[in-house]
Every structure is written in C-alpha cells, then in structure tokens.
Amino acid sequence: MTPLKVHLVLNPENAGWIIEKIAARLMEHAPVAGIAASISGQPRSDVHLNHWMSYAFADEPQSTRATMFITHVDDPYKSALVRRVIAGGVDAGICMSGEMMAQLVALGVPQRSLCFIPPAHDNLVRPRRVRIGIATRLYPDGRKRESLLVQLGGRIRLDCFRFEIFGAGWEKVIPELKASGAEVDYYPGTGDYRSDYQVLLEHVPHFDYYLYMGMDEGSLGTLDALAAAVKTIVTAQGFHLDLGSAITHSFVTFEELEAIFIRIRDELAARTAIAARLTWGAFAERHATVWRAITGGVDLRSLTELTRLTPIDPARDLRCDVRFWMRSLHPRRVLSAMGHVPVLKPLRTRWGHARRARAKRAGSK
C-alpha cells in the first residue's frame, strides 16, 4: 500500500517553540500511521495533502487538498481569518480542543469543516508517590492503632504511596508496608526531642497528607500540617472535630481509612490514565485518519466521528460575549489582524523577526 504523502507547512514565524515541536512529533510518528511526511516553510504541489501548522499562514490558493492546525483564536479578527481560509480552499481545520471547535462553530465557521484532536506529551515524566507523613511514636499497647496500616497493606496495594514516619517503634510495621509496595523513610529520633522536632518541621511542608490514627483526643502534628497547608487524614475525635473544614479526610473505622486510601489511589490512577492515552502516536494516527478521509473523498461531516472525539456544546453564543469582542479593539489585536492582510504580510514578518531578535539579545544579557 502506497503511503499517503503529507507535507507539513511550518512557517518560520512558528519555528523554535511549541508549534515546531508538534510538527516534529508528527513527522516522527507519521510513518507508523502510514504517512510519508515532509516539512518545510512552504507548501508543496507534489504531495497528496498539505497540512498548515498554523491557520494564520494558510490564506493563499491551495495546490492540493489541505488541512490546518487551529489554536489561540481569541478575537473576532482571527475567527474571521479562519472562516476566510476555509472558504478559500482549505478542506478542514483541526482544532486543539473541543472548546475551540465549539467556539468557532458559534462564530460562524461551518461545523462540517472542523474537527479537533487534543495535544499529546512526550511521556517522559512519571508521577511521584503520594507522601504520607506520620509523626508519632508507638507504644506496646498499640494505642496509636498502627495495626490499621498493617491491615491496609494486607487489603490493597500501596505502590503509589511513600510513608515518611517520625517517631520510634515502627520497626515491625515498616516491613509490612514495604511488602505491599510502599516506600518508607523512617526517622526514629535521637532522644533529643527539640532536634527531632526541627527535623520534622523541615519535612512537614513536603507531605501530601498528614496521617494520624490514634483515638487519644488528637495530634499536635495535625496543627503543624495545617499551618503548612498540608492535607490531612486524621481521626474524627478530640480537638480534630473542632478544626472543622480544615480537615481533609476524617475517619474512625478501618473501613473508612481504607476508603480514603482507595480514593486517593484511584484519583491518581485516573489522572495518569488520561495522560497515557494522549501519546504522540495516537496524535499522529488521528491526523492520519482525517487526512485519509479527506484525500479519499469521505464526507467531511463525519470527521469528528472518525477521530472518535465529541465536541462539547458551547456554553453560550460567543457572538454575544462582550469580552470576546472587546478584545478585538486592543491595539495589538488590530496590528495582528492587519498583519494578515496580504499586502502587509512582509511588514508583519519583519516585525516578528525584529521582536525575536530583541528577545534573544535580552536573554543573552
């Protein structure tokens, strides 16, 4: 099967930052999606389709089928440019978000000429573990209810948690936590409580949650945590009850404690699961789907269905949004809009080069 030839048009005005990175990632992952991609500052006539990396530079006759990337349409001048470019021959605009697509439809851009593909990321960062701070020593009678943590580790995996424990007596509990996947930093203390307290205070602001399980009227460490704006998981008793809404999570029973940890774990998993789907491979494949549909003569009304992404409904008619229209009166908006008039484009280009040169000089000082 002959790969589809797509040329990415990256105007020099967009070089050096995010739009160039997006173009580079499309180039990198296009072959896997069955696309033979190339890139330069000008469109080509010997390809199946030209994809403009910015709608702002696509306002010219198209020699092939064409699509364009749409983002940052934040005033009526730019929305009018999008309408004009699509009317002038660009087959479809690919928005970065469902909201942008909905806004453009509300501003008169034909919905059949729009779809949206969310951005992707490099998948180079990993979530750090949720830091659970504990500041209490243990006693032979188990009054601090450390057995709840042992029971918790026996019921759920603790791979996404890191416990920072301050206070003596945790030697038998720590192996149980590690066996369930948790990481543990242990500071049993030195016997000098003033020095030990200073060490604790240095760590408290870095906790994600402060945990206290005892039922002996409350932990003063809870107050240190609140003073550091740290979230809390503490027992619903004693003076903790007097702290009201300052407490993040409260509990008494093991079942309540387990539910809190499961909720924190699942919230973390939900965030990372969404990010895991937004890969550059998926980004390129969605673009390839749109490009194949356009070059294959598929009805453009089905573009959104092809990407399997549903745009949101506009919350309001943006033509009635006074703030949106008032932005168009700002002198910079007017100058920006004038820069897209063909006869004035060379002036806009020179102005852009001068601006980048000034920024470069300022950064080198």
Convert the pLDDT of each residue in 89-145 to its tens digit.
Answer: 999 999 999 889 988 988 889 988 999 999 999 999 999 999 999 999 999 999 999
Question: How is the chain split into domains, by residue range?
Answer: 4-121+278-329, 130-275
* Cα–Cα distance measured from residue 16 to residue 363, given in angstroms and rounded to the nearest whole number: 15
Determine phi and psi for 285, rounding to 5 degrees: -65, -40
Among 327, 252, 284, CA closest to 94: 284
Give the pLDDT of residue 75: 81
Contact 181, 196 (CB under 8 A): no
Determine phi and psi for 232, rounding to 5 degrees: -130, 150
The model's pTM: 0.78
Contact 159, 181 (CB under 8 A): yes
Contact 336, 128 (CB under 8 A): no
Q: What is the mean pLDDT of residues 168-197?
A: 96
Sign of the Cα torsion 226, 228, 234, 238 reads negative
Convert the pLDDT of each residue in 131-173 to its tens digit.
Answer: 999 999 999 999 999 999 999 999 999 999 999 999 999 999 9
Among 125, 173, 122, 127, CA closest to 146: 173
The amino acid present at 219, given as its one-letter code, is: S
The verdict on domain 4-121+278-329 having CATH code 3.40.50.2000 is yes
Residue 318's pLDDT band, with cuts at 50, 70 and 90, is very low
> Can you identify the CATH homologous superfamily of domain 130-275?
Glycogen Phosphorylase B; (3.40.50.2000)
* Cα–Cα distance measured from residue 289 to residue 311, given in angstroms and rounded to the nearest whole number: 17
Determine phi and psi for 223, rounding to 5 degrees: -70, -40
